């Protein structure tokens, strides 16, 4: 286990060093990230019209969902996108061979090799919005509601990761699957708004078929103290299922890996 | 150490006809069929051996190598490397082997090799101290110095390849799989990589399996060669007897004092070339001494040279013919 922690530390410090290697590019990335942040704050300010309701959510509570969305989006930009979109290149260029011959879990390597520090401010902003909006909507934090919030955030993240990894793993056969990952980002974007703001059929689909509700709505409910504990258990089972599916599928995919020609 | 028994690998491939119609057909109704990449190959390799794999492009060398290091699952047959079944890729197995591919790199492009080396050390569970000792030792052998702290993208191909080799050997593997490790290097860099590999083999007793297109790599490093043609093994033995079995004759080049006609040489052997005062004959090994002494008595000779026909030329001819004598 220690070996894995040390490996992550070295992965991320080298990722940081690689990003700093091109100073201008790093500055531009930071600027672009600032632009995105300003954009989302602007959208939030548009939401701030007094006395309106979205689904059965007050604006302050809906803002919590925006915060969770921003947080997950930041995590996506920092961790999921840099790593999981890279799997395709590993397969195409045949450098996956090197990863597979390392005495370390290949799914681990492919999932955490890189870390984009430009995603960090979004993560911090997202969390700040969550707590600020939760206070505004009059919720009182307790260790209980905070731990529910952290667990449900984890559930959301693991589900997003697993689905994304599943799609990326299929590049073993199809080689190019970039389009599919764009669909996933759209899915996450659908989680910007409370699930109850959608029509009933979409609500059903977003909860049971595509677990969008688990990404943003349920964590927000947790911090607001409104999450039903049964949903949390259901979420835990669902994310466990997705995670094991991703691992199983990866092992299965590797059996079909033929390596790129020399 | 390594046992390969009746190993066969089929690849499923799809053919695409040219043109738009072919593209549509390829997209909607892909016809696939199995192509054998390696057919029924068996051999054994003892610890410490250096074995060269020879074959034309697409002969199946890389497929074979990748089955032995566990990257590709065999269709049928058995591979055993040091008591492990490679395709299971157990940790204990992976710590014993390494793969170097001349055309693919594992070092992080934008950072100095040193950073990648420490990542590798962590992955293999080496302590910082162990890693440092190991890096210094290998860097000495490879004649690498400050190159290790310069970004990989600024290194020459030769320096990069040496750094790649260092990264691949950090964990003291006992079996080395090298897929064209000298590809694209200039003659000097090739020679340095070669002498390093040979020294590494002597020092550590590691088993080395090597594919290369450069015959010089094979002749310098590999006492034993395995030739593969169209997925089939057709020669497994030492390099010298390969040369003998490929060419039962030797080349005799003669420089004469006076020009002679072609007819005068016909009885000595097969005439390869006759140009004014220079004659090149192919003489069978059995008759060599007799022919040479006859030549020396019958003609006024300034210079005489006996050699094997170049091995790469022989092997090239062999691959063209596709069979061994």
Residue A98 to residue B99, Cβ atoms within 8 A: yes
Categorize the per-residue pLDDT at A260 as very low, low, confident or very high, splitting at 50, 70 and 90.
low
Question: Does B191 contact chain A (CB < 8 Å)?
Answer: no
Interface test with A, best of B71, B126, B127 (most A CBs within 10 A): B71
Structure confidence at residue A138 (pLDDT): 81
Residue A261 to residue B72, Cβ atoms within 8 A: no
Question: Does B73 contact chain A (CB < 8 Å)?
Answer: yes
Categorize the per-residue pLDDT at B325 as very low, low, confident or very high, splitting at 50, 70 and 90.
very low
Structure-block tokens of residue A49: 């019209």
Structure confidence at residue B166 (pLDDT): 95
Give the integer Cα–Cα distance in Å for A233 and A229.
6
- Residue that has been written with the tokens 């090149």 in this structure: B280
Strand residue runs (E) in chain B: 2-14, 32-45, 50-54, 76-81, 97-101, 175-179, 207-211, 224-229, 232-238, 249-256, 270-275, 278-284, 301-307
Q: Give the whole-number percent of chain B exceeding pLDDT 70.
A: 97
pTM for the model stands at 0.82
Which of B66, B71, B111 minimises the CB distance to A17? Answer: B111
Q: Is the pLDDT of residue A261 over 80?
A: no
Question: Does A178 contact chain B (CB < 8 Å)?
Answer: no
Structure-block tokens of residue A163: 């689905």
- Strand B207-211 relative to strand B175-179, pairing: parallel
Interface test with A, best of B35, B67, B118, B119 (most A CBs within 10 A): B119
| pLDDT, averaged across chain A | 85
Q: Is the pLDDT of residue B204 over 90?
A: yes
Residue B104 to residue A7, Cβ atoms within 8 A: no
The C-alpha of B171 sits at a distance from chain A's nearest C-alpha, in angstroms, of: 11
Give the integer Cα–Cα distance in Å for A248 and A239.
14
Interface test with B, best of A96, A101, A250 (most B CBs within 10 A): A101
Q: Give the whole-number percent of chain A exceeding pLDDT 70.
A: 91
The neighbour count for residue B97, using CB atoms within 10 Å, is 26
CA distances from B309 to A56, B226, B249, B303, B314 (A): 88, 20, 8, 18, 7
Q: Is the pLDDT of residue A204 over 90?
A: no
For residue B91, the chain A residues in CB contact (below 8 A) are 103
What would the pLDDT profile of B68-100 be if each residue is shown by its tens digit? 999 988 989 999 999 999 988 999 999 999 999
Average pLDDT over residues B31-51: 90
Structure confidence at residue B194 (pLDDT): 93
- Strand B232-238 relative to strand B249-256, pairing: unpaired
User: Is residue B204 helix, strand or coil?
Assistant: helix
Interface predicted TM-score (ipTM) of this complex, two decimals: 0.82
For residue B70, the chain A residues in CB contact (below 8 A) are 100-101
Structure confidence at residue B307 (pLDDT): 81
Residue A259 to residue B66, Cβ atoms within 8 A: yes
Categorize the per-residue pLDDT at A47 as very low, low, confident or very high, splitting at 50, 70 and 90.
low
Residue A95 to residue B110, Cβ atoms within 8 A: no
For residue A94, the chain B residues in CB contact (below 8 A) are 101, 104
Q: Which residue did the predictor score with more confidence, A112 or B32?
A: A112
What would the pLDDT profile of B134-190 be if each residue is shown by its tens digit? 999 999 999 998 999 999 999 999 999 999 999 999 999 999 999 999 988 888 889
Structure confidence at residue A210 (pLDDT): 73
Structure confidence at residue B140 (pLDDT): 92
What would the pLDDT profile of A181-195 be if each residue is shown by its tens digit? 677 777 777 777 777
What would the pLDDT profile of B268-290 be if each residue is shown by its tens digit? 888 888 887 888 888 887 888 88
For residue B66, the chain A residues in CB contact (below 8 A) are 97, 259
Least confident of A1-10, B260-269, B311-320: B311-320
Average pLDDT over residues B236-263: 81
Give the integer Cα–Cα distance in Å for A25 and A11.
20
Average pLDDT over residues A198-214: 78
Structure confidence at residue A53 (pLDDT): 64
Buried (b) or exposed (e) across B173-200, using 16+ Cβ within 10 A?
Answer: bbbbbbbbbbbebeeebbebbbebbeeb
Residue B123 to residue A102, Cβ atoms within 8 A: yes
Categorize the per-residue pLDDT at A228 as very low, low, confident or very high, splitting at 50, 70 and 90.
confident
Q: Is the pLDDT of residue B323 over 60?
A: no
Give the integer Cα–Cα distance in Å for A217 and A12.
30
Q: Give the whole-number percent of chain B exceeding pLDDT 90.
A: 46
Contact in structure between B1 and B51 (CB atoms under 8 Å): no
| pLDDT, averaged across chain B | 87
Give the integer Cα–Cα distance in Å for A133 and A141.
12
Q: Which residue did the predictor score with more confidence, B20 or A209?
A: B20
Question: Does A23 contact chain B (CB < 8 Å)?
Answer: no
Average pLDDT over residues A120-148: 88
Give the integer Cα–Cα distance in Å for A72 and B244.
69
The C-alpha of B177 sits at a distance from chain A's nearest C-alpha, in angstroms, of: 11
Return the residue of B nearest to A17 by Cα: B111
Categorize the per-residue pLDDT at A177 as very low, low, confident or very high, splitting at 50, 70 and 90.
low
For residue B108, the chain A residues in CB contact (below 8 A) are 14, 18
Virtual CA dihedral for B236, B239, B245, B247, nearest 10 degrees?
140
Please name the residues in contact with B45: beta carbons below 8 A apart, sequence gap of 6 or more: B1, B2, B51, B207, B209
């Amino acid at each position: 286990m220690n070996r894995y922690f040390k490996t992550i530390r070295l992965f991320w410090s080298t990722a940081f060093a690689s990003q700093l290697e091109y100073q201008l590019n790093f500055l531009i990335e930071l600027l672009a990230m600032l632009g995105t942040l300003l954009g989302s704050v602007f959208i939030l300010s548009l939401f701030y019209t007094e006395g309106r309701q979205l689904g059965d959510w007050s604006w302050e509570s809906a803002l919590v969902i925006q915060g969770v969305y921003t947080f997950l989006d930041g995590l996506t930009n920092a961790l999921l996108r840099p790593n999981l979109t890279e799997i395709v290149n590993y397969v195409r260029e045949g450098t996956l061979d090197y990863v597979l011959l390392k005495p370390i879990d290949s799914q681990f390597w492919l999932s955490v090799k890189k870390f984009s520090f430009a995603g960090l401010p979004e993560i911090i902003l997202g969390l700040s919005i969550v707590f600020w909006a939760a206070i505004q909507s009059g919720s009182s934090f307790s260790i209980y509601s905070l731990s529910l919030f952290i667990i449900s955030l984890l559930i959301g993240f693991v589900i997003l990761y697993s689905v994304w990894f599943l799609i990326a793993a299929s590049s073993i056969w199809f080689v190019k699957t970039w389009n599919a990952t764009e669909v996933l980002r759209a899915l996450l974007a659908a989680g910007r708004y409370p699930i109850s703001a959608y029509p009933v059929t979409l609500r059903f689909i977003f909860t049971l078929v595509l677990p969008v509700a688990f990404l943003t709505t349920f964590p927000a409910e947790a911090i607001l103290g409104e999450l039903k504990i049964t949903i949390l258990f259901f979420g835990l089972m669902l994310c466990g299922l997705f995670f094991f599916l991703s691992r199983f599928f990866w092992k299965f995919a590797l059996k079909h890996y033929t390596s790129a020609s020399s | 150490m390594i046992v390969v028994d009746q190993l066969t690998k089929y690849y499923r491939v799809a053919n695409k006809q040219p043109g738009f119609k072919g593209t549509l057909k390829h997209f909607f109704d892909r016809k696939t069929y199995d192509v054998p990449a390696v057919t029924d190959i068996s051999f054994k390799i003892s610890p410490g051996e250096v074995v060269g794999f020879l074959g034309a492009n697409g002969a199946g060398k890389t497929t074979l190598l990748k089955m032995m290091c566990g990257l590709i699952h065999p269709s049928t047959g058995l591979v055993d490397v040091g008591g492990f079944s490679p395709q299971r890729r157990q940790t204990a197995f992976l710590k014993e082997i390494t793969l170097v591919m001349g055309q693919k790199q594992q070092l992080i492009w934008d950072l100095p090799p040193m950073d990648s080396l420490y990542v590798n050390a962590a992955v293999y569970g080496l302590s910082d101290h162990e890693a440092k000792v190991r890096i210094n030792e290998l860097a000495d052998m490879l004649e690498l110095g400050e190159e290790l702290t310069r970004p990989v993208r600024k290194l020459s191909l030769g320096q990069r390849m040496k750094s790649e080799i260092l990264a691949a050997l950090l964990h003291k593997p006992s079996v080395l799989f090298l897929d064209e490790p000298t590809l694209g290097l200039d003659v000097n860099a090739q020679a340095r990589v070669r002498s390093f590999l040979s020294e590494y083999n002597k020092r550590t007793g590691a088993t080395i399996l090597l594919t290369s297109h450069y015959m010089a790599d094979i002749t310098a490093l590999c006492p034993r060669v395995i030739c593969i043609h169209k997925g089939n093994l057709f020669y497994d033995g030492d390099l010298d007897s390969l040369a003998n079995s490929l060419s039962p004759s030797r080349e005799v080049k003669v420089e004469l004092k006076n020009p002679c006609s072609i007819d005068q040489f016909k009885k000595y052997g097969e005439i390869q070339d006759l140009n004014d005062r220079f004659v090149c004959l192919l003489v069978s090994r059995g008759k060599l001494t007799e022919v040479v002494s006859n030549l020396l008595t019958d003609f006024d000779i300034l210079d005489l040279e006996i050699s094997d026909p170049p091995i790469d030329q022989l092997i090239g001819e062999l691959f063209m013919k596709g069979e061994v004598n």
